[in-house]
Structure formats: structure tokens, C-alpha cells
Structure 1
Amino acid sequence: MWFGDEYWLVRFAFQRGLALLYLLAFLVAAYQFRPLAGEDGLLPIEWYVDGVSFRERPSLFYLVPTDRAIGIAAWSGVALSAMVVLAVPYWLPEGYATPASMLLWAVLWVLYLSFANAGQTFYGYGWESMLCETGFLAIFLGAGSAAPPFVVLLLLQWVLFRNMFGAGLIKLRGDDCWRDLTCMDYHYETQPIPNPLSWYAHHLPDRFHRIETFGNHVVELLIPFLYFAPQPLSALAGAATIGFQGWLMLTGNFAWLNALTIVLAIPTFSDGALAAVLPIAAPATASTPLYLEVLAVIVAVLVVGLSVRPARNMLSETQLMNTAFDPLHLVNTYGAFGSVTRDRYEVVVEGTTDEEITADTEWRPYRFEGKPTDPGRRPPQVAPSHLRLDWQLWFAAMSPTPRRHPWFFRLLGKLLEADEDTLALLADDPFDGERPTHVRAVRYRYRYTTPEERDETGRWWSRERVGTYVGPVSIEELRIREPQLR
């Protein structure tokens, strides 16, 4: 069971899953990158170009920092991802399949690396680095009837191990509630973007929350060591990981983090294990091309060398999570929810068409797709898509003022200008494309309603105002306060 020619089906399934996630990621970039980090974005791309060197954060957009280049790259990524989803390299004559596959995966990696490195705060998530790292390794899996290099499958398991084990360690080190098994009392309510089942998960019995927190430690701290065990232990560990990630997908919106982790778990299986659950059988395979075997060994040596710092970090008492240790995101360190917030804060952005602000001014809220602005609105299902602005609003709301988030003032300016690209990132514009005269931002503390409260009011949330995030401001006043908005 340890030979590469028994992993053809594993490779095929892994490639289809990863290509689907690439497709989704490029679609998100096509619709969101320009208003967030394009030429006139909330964090303009010139800030990236002026702030770092190409060597520090290489990207095609460093060389061509234009919206046109961004659009071409995003839609090219969509088209190429679709080709890989359809297994186009497998259609080619033997001898061409593997080179074509390597070229396609290499272009996808370069394109997405460009977005990840140029996206600034809006691309500062661990799953961006994980997609880059996984996409790089996918270049060397081959295609057609040739067997995949088994060493590359081991490297993919190494990514999965660092993802899961790093998350387990950061939890034990980061917050007492993980050690006393109470973190899940808060998690479903305070996670960045709850989904339709989060309210119900929050109200499960306390005993269930203790058991699931303990189970989290088992899956993240013990199970990962079995990824490298012989079959069927490796497949059982992969199945446990998939089940764990499936529960997280059912009860929260974490972009494509969970889906990517599930895809990374596929290499823990063998063809025999997958054939039992997939309606496809592996064909007779040929030996791995010599040049691919050589390249796979070179990549393995590179990864081993680059793994030293991430491994030291993972075992360190001062462990960092979701950090890239090289500009190409080849080997990174991961982790999630090292600490869990006990209270949920939200920033509600409102506007008015009144020329003068008085106590009687009517303020109308802007509604974001993933934010619980309206207490009566059921939390939406958005994952595995990624609402990048909504995620950053969750981080911003943790602070009583937006001074650490310069993009927020630019957001207010865009709303005052009724900028179409920015408004497209929202779920609802209360002014139907017209310009408000003033906007403001109010900070609230949100909590889930109890079952009794929801039966009585129909609301999913209860909230109380805790402060003013940004007071009423016009576009002229905002430009004076924030010169970069001019």
C-alpha cells in the first residue's frame, strides 16, 4: 500500500477538489479584489507597491499594478481552474499529460500567489498561504496514466499535519477556555460569520460543548500523527479529519479553510479506500516518469529545508499562527482560534440624506452579506466563498476605534460617494445608488437570543449599543480628517 502506483485515484480526486477551490478563489478575486485592493481600492495597490519590495512579496501586480491586469489574471485563473476541474490534461496523449498538467498547475500557482501577496490585509488569512503551498505541491503530481510520485503525497500530508497539529497547539497555549473545555460555550456566537446552524449549535447542552472541545483536542493533537501510519490507520485518520471539518462547515462560515483541509486529507487514503466510496475505479497505471521522480525529490529536499523554521515555531512557547516564512508561501505555519472572544462586537455603518444632523435625524443601516446587522435576519450560509470585507469588519469591531484599520475611513468615503464597486460588496444599499450626505459607524455588542426570546420576538440576535465608532461625517469632513481620501 505504500507504492505510488496505488494512488492514481487519490491523485485524481485530490486534483479535482483543489481545482474547484482554485476556481472559487479566482472568482472571489474577480469580484472583490479590485474594490478592496485595486487601483482605487480600500487599500490601493500602490500602497502594496510602495510598501514592500518585489523580493519580499513577489506578485505580477508589482510589475503591472493596474485593474486591467488584475481582471485578466483573475478570469484567466477561473478559466484555467475550470480546465483542471474537467481533467483536461488527462485527455491528452500519454507523454503530454504530465507536462501539460505541470504547466497548468504552475500558472495557477503564480497567479494566485500574485493575489495573495498583493492583497494586503484583505488577503492576510492562513488559508491563502495554505492554498499557495498546496497549489505548489500539486504541480509535481503528474497526470494521465502515470503514477504520482509518492513523496509528493507525503508532502501534502505534511501540510495537513502542520495545519491540524499547529491549530491544536495554539489552542492549548493561547486561551484558558481550551484547557478547561469551555471555549465552545462562546465560539458559535462570536465566530467571524455565523451560519444558519450556528444559533442551534450554540444552544446545545453544556455537556455536549465539553465533549466537542475535548474531541477537538483529540482530532488536532493526536490524530495527525496517524496520517503517516500504514493503511488503514492513515485512512481512518483522514476520515476523522474530514468528519471534524464537516462539522465546522455545518456550523460556521470559514471561507474555504475547512474545504481545503478536507481536500488535503484525501492523500491519507489509498486507491482501495477511495474506490469503496467513489463511483470510479483506477485504471492500470504506468510508472512515474523519471524526470518527475527527480523533480519530486528536489522539491522534497527543498520542503525539508524550509520546514525547519515553521516546525520550530510550531513547537515554540511563543508560537505564531498563520505565518509565511518565505515570500513564495512554500512552507508555512498554521493555526486557528488560539483565543476565543467572549463577547461579540459589531460595527454598524449607517447613512442619512439630512443636510444637518439633529437628534431627529433618520439613520439607515448598510447591510453586509455576512454581518448580523439586523437582529431579525437569520445568519446566512456563505462558505466556502469568502466575504473578505465582512471578515475585516469582524476584526475591526474588536477595537473601540478604527485607527488601526485605515481602510475603514476609505470605506466610509466610498459609501459617501456611492461608489458602485464598493456597494457591490454589500448585501443592500439603503439609498439605492444615491449619495448620502453623512455616514456614521456605531458599535454594538451582540448576543444570540435565547430559545424563549426567539419564540417571542422571532429574532436571532439581541444587541446593545456600546459606543460610537465614527461620528457623523460628510465627504468634505472626511477628506480633511483623512488626507489620503482626496
Structure 2
Amino acid sequence: MGWFTAPEYWLTRLVFQRALAAVYLVAFLTAALQCRALIGERGLLPVPRFVARVPFKRAPSVFHLHYSDRFFAAWAWAGCAVSAALLAGADAALPLWGAMLLWLVPWALYLSVVNVGQTWYGFGWESLLLETGFVAVLLGNDEVAPPLVVLFLLRWVLFRVEFGAGLIKLRGDACWRKLTCLRYHHETQPMPGPLSWFFHRLPDPLHRVEAAANHVTQLAVPFLLFAPQPVATGAAALMILTQLWLVLSGNFSWLNWITIVLALSAVRLPGRPPPAAAAPPWYEAVVLVVGAMLVLLSRHPVRNMLSRGQVMNRSFDPLHLVNTYGAFGSVSRVRYEVVLEGTRDDAPREDAQWREYEFRGKPGDPRRWPRQFAPYHLRLDWMMWFAALSPAYAGDWFGVLVERLLEGDRATLRLLRRSPFPPGAPPHWIRARLFRYRYTTWGELRATGACWDRVYVRDYLPPTRLSAPAGPP
């Protein structure tokens, strides 16, 4: 079938696949380095406890069959190794069927992680990576030209990411319709980056331009993805520029980068395609059957986008094949932060020597400037932002976090930037206090060197201690 392939997209496929492999690598690296403390046997939300109450059919994962911290670490590092091999082009050295199976491996490995990750893996970009990774299995390698059906499916995923996000903004918060959300967003976003202070201090008319440009990119431009070239390339380029603006303005894990990867699939890159054989019949059949299945499953996110009760970031099947996306349907006007403090004094009086725990990414010390972490995902830091919005977001893990800090648990302490107490001498008491944070003005920054100003609001958790002395961590 001559219509089946698009040889002119061979370089596009190559760039897309290598970029996707890089995102996979970051995702597996995040799991390998953090998940023992988060979902390990003594984690904040242990996998064994989760799989004991959630059946396999609701959350398919190899960890239903067996879990240990060592097995999980081997699984995550295996994902890193496969991702690195794909980044280096290992799929090009295999026959077509072998390349497809190799691309299926990181998807299956990561699916097992996401489906037991619970709160720590409840972010939209987890499902987005899985959906994109599954479609990428069908792209093949240089044995055949890129299939048009798969290129369409990738654009369809990108359309839903952008258009769904645009709709949720218009429906979710009046400040998006008034073009005023960016007055607050750079200051109140989950994890500011090193340039976020400067974005916040842009003149108000530029904030309005930002918001208006966002609406154009998310509500109008996505339809142009399905236009003939070079219009589709232009639409994808606008999306890439918008995502790079977001990369500069904050730390959004790999959300921006996986969106850029998807946009690359719509860009027609120049270059003469290498000779390729005609697509074998079995390959055409697999692509068409799976493609039809994905289009059929898409009815769920389409209904959601058209609904007045549109929801963000939901999977409609346990394999995360087709999902709905969206971000910042509402924007906080005020930033709150939970600050954890400990003391080794015997009594938790106000005049005790309280020392503050420092997180890697979330604001703490007002003089400490935010750093760039994305695309790496600091999961605990992100959830601490949600915890500050409402204790309901932290009800199933915050108490365990405090317990682990009181024990001086080494795995938990490795999630932090700095603990004021060594593992062998944990605090006797820990308390949590809620502060209101705001960016300093230009004058305050010059005078104090602090990018944040904070004001105590109330106690978040009163001084707490272990009921029995902690044993060796």
C-alpha cells in the first residue's frame, strides 16, 4: 500500500525516537533513585501494602507477583539500560520485529512502576509517557518508512494534550479568561525555577500577552497539526517554542519535554531518506489494527473534553493506552509552604533549638535561590506543595514521613537537600509549620539578597515524637 508510509519523515522519526528514549531514561533514573523511600518496603506508601488491596486487573504490574527493594531497583536500572541502548540507536541494528519488541520493553517496565506508584505517580506526564511510548512501538526502524497512521496517532496525542489543557483553563478559573493568571502563577507554581522570580516581575501587560499566547497555542494551533505541510510544521514549532518558554519559567518535571518530543513528530525535517523496503503485510496489519483500537478508545477523552465537568489527567484503562490531560485549571493566588523542623531538646518548647529540614527543590530558606531540576522529577517536593494547599493531599503519607525523619531513615533523608540531624542522631521532636511565601521586590532583593519573604501562618503539625525510641536506621 503506497499510502501507508511517509518516507520524507525518516529523519523526524529518528529524532523523535532518540528524544523519547532520553525521556524514558530520566523517568527510570528518577524511579531508581527515589522509590525505595517513597514506595519501598519501608517507604511512605509501601508497594506490598498496595498490591495486597488492589487486584492485578486494576493495576497490572510485575510487582503483584513479587516485590523487594532489590528487585525494584534492578527493574528500574534495567529500564535505564534499555533506554540508554535505544538512545544510542540499538533498535537500528535489529530487524523490524526486534526493534518493535525492544521499544515495547521500556513501556512494559515503566507501566509496572506507574501502576504501583500510587500518589507519587499520579501526575499526568506519567500516563503521557506511557501513551506516547506505546504508540512509538509501531514506528518501526529504518527497514521501513514511517507509517502515516502512526504519525497521525502521535499528532492526535499532542492535540489532546494541548487542546485539553486549553479547555480546562477556560472552564476552571476566571483569571484565564481575564488574562490575569500569570500575575500569580510564576510565584505559586509547584516548583519555581531559577528564572521564575524574573518571570513574576515582568510588567503586567506582558503577563496578559503570556496568557493570551497560551490560549492561542492550546485552543487554535492544535487544529493546524492536521493541515498539510508546511503548516503542520509551523504549528508544531509554535508549540515547541511555548514549551521552551515554560521550561525557562519553572520546573515541570518532563511534562514540557515529552510535549516537545510529541511536537517533533509533526515537524518535517529536511534530508534524503535512506532506501527502505516495502512494509511487510504483518507490519501493516499490526499498525492498522492497533491504530484502529487506539482511535476507538479515544472516545473516552473526547467525551471528557466536550463535557462541562471535564477532569484533568485521568487514565481510562489500566494500561494507560489513551488518557486525558490538562494542567493548572485553577491557579493559586497565594503561596503556602510546609516547613519541617526538628529538635533534640527533651521538651518541645517554643524556645527549644529548632532546626529546619531543607528540601532539594521546594522553597525553604528565603535566601536560597531555586535551582533547575526538570526534567528530573522531585516527587516528594511536588507533593509537599500539594500538602500546603490542603492536608487532605497528604493524609496517607505525611505522618509516615515525620516518623521516618524521627527514625533518621537514611533512604528518606536522601530525598532531602540537607538534614540538620545525622542519621545516627535523629531529633527527639518534629513539628511542621505553615508559612506564606511571596517573591521579594527588586528593592528587597538588593537589600537582603533573599528572593523570598515568608510569614508564619499557623502550626501544620504540633510537635510530635516517636512513641518508643528509634532503633538503628
Q: Calculate the TM-score normalised by the size of structure 1.
A: 0.94
**C-alpha separation between the residues in 2 aligned to 1:145 and 1:31?**
37
Aligned mates of 1:243, 1:133 — CA distance in 2:
23
Q: In structure 2, what is the Cα distance between the partners aligned to 1:478 and 1:200?
A: 47
* Aligned partner (choices 254, 257, 260) of residue 259 of structure 1: 257
CA positional deviation for 1:104: 1.2
Partner of 2:369: 378
Q: Aligned residue for 2:419?
A: 429
Contact kept? 2:433, 2:458, Cα under 8 Å: yes
SS in 1 for 2:461: strand
Cα distance in structure 1, aligned partners of 2:170 and 2:299: 22
The correspondence for 2:227, drawn from 222, 226, 229, is 229
User: Is 2:440 the partner of 1:442?
Assistant: no
1:45-194 to 2 correspondences below 5 Å: 45-92=47-94, 96=95, 98-194=96-192
**Separation in structure 1 between the aligned mates of residue 333 and residue 220 of structure 2, nearest angstrom:** 27
1:408 to 370, 385, 398: 398
Q: Work out whether residues 402 and 408 of structure 1, in 8 Å CA contact, stay in contact via their aligned partners in 2.
A: no
How much has 1:55 moved relative to structure 2?
0.6
Question: Which residue number corresponds to residue 322 of structure 2?
Answer: 331
Quickly say closer, same or farther: Cα 1:71–1:17, change in 2 above 3 A. Answer: same
Contact conserved, 1:145 with 1:283, CA < 8 A, in 2? no
User: Which residue of 1 is the match for residue 16 of structure 2?
Assistant: 14
Name the CA distance, whole Å, in 2 between partners of 1:390 and 1:206: 29
Partner residue, 1:32: 34
Unaligned runs of 5+ in 2: none
Deviation at 1:72, TM superposition (A): 1.4
| Separation of aligned partners in 1, 2:395 and 2:159 | 33
1:46-89 CA distances to partner (integer Å, 9 max, x unpaired)?
23212321111111111112212211110110000011000012
Deviation at 1:402, TM superposition (A): 5.8
Alignment partner, residue 348 of structure 1: 339
Match of 1:4 in 2: 6
Deviation, structure 1 residue 404: 4.8
Q: Is 354-363 or 320-329 further displaced after alignment?
A: 354-363
The question of whether the paired residues in 2 share the 8 Å contact of 1:148 and 1:288 is answered with no
Amino acid corresponding to residue 360 of structure 2 in structure 1:
E
Q: Cα offset for 1:234?
A: 0.2
The one-letter code matched in structure 2 to 1:413 is: E
Cα offset for 1:286?
2.8
Deviations 1:96-128 (A, max 9, x none): 2x2221111111111000111100000000000
Secondary structure in structure 1 of the residue aligned to 2:432: strand
2:303 maps to 1:312: yes
Q: Which residue of 2 aligns with 1:200?
A: 198
Contact between 1:413 and 1:478, CA under 8 Å: does it hold in 2? no
Taking structure 1 as reference, are residues 88 and 327 closer, same or farther at Cα in structure 2, changes over 3 Å only? same
**What code does the residue aligned with 1:289 have?**
P
Q: Secondary structure at the match of 1:467?
A: strand
- Tell me the residue number matched to 1:278: none
Q: Over residues 128-183 of structure 1, what are the superposed CA-to-partner deviations in whole Å (9 max), with x where a residue is unaligned?
A: 00001011111111113321211011101111000000000000000000000000
Amino acid at match of 2:227: A
Q: CA deviation at 1:358?
A: 2.1
C-alpha distance in 1 between matches for 2:72 and 2:344:
35
Letter in 1 for 2:64: Y
Q: Deviations over 1:286-336 (max 9, x none)?
A: 322322211110111111111111100011100011000000000000001
In structure 1, C-alpha distance between the alignment counterparts of 2:231 and 2:208, rounded to whole Å: 26
- 1:440 match: secondary structure: strand
Q: Determine the structure 2 residue equivalent to 1:42.
A: 44
State the TM-score, normalizing by the size of structure 2.
0.96
Residue in structure 1 matched with residue 245 of structure 2 by the alignment: 247
**Count of aligned residue pairs for this structure pair:** 467
Hey, what does 1:482 align to over in structure 2?
Answer: none
Report SS of the residue matched to 2:338.
Answer: strand
- C-alpha spacing 1:478/1:443, structure 2 compared with 1 (3 Å): farther
CA distance in 2, matches of 1:250, 1:283: 36
Change (3 A) 1:230 1:367: same
